[in-house]
Amino acid sequence: MASVIACAADDTTISEGGMMMIHRAQMFSAGDADDLRKDAAILEKFEGTLLSVYEKKTGLDRETLAGMLDDETWMDATDCVALGFCDGVVEEPRQRL
């Protein structure tokens, strides 16, 4: 969920050592068949929203993004900027003694 929040912002930066991961929507569910179908519908709706946010931020097509979600894609800061998930990299501040 953190990546969706980051991508919904107008300007997103990531630290040099930062990582971002995107994946399909998940939930735990219990109940009868009707309950499980309802939860599956919620997940599908949520996944559509994920794709819309990522598509708007990155400019990547939905098919590419859906594949990235399926693969549970991990990205370092360079990947995030190159793929459009982040707008820039913030350098780590120096440690002061």
In order along its 97 residues, the chain shows pLDDT tens digits of 899 999 999 999 999 999 999 999 999 999 999 999 999 999 999 999 999 999 999 999 999 999 999 999 999 999 999 999 999 999 877 777 7
- Ranges of H-type helices in the chain: 2-8, 33-58, 62-71, 77-83
> d(Cα 68, Cα 62) in Å, to the nearest integer?
10
**Domains defined along the chain, listed by start:** 2-87 (3.90.226.10)
Task: Give the predicted TM-score (pTM) of the model.
Answer: 0.87
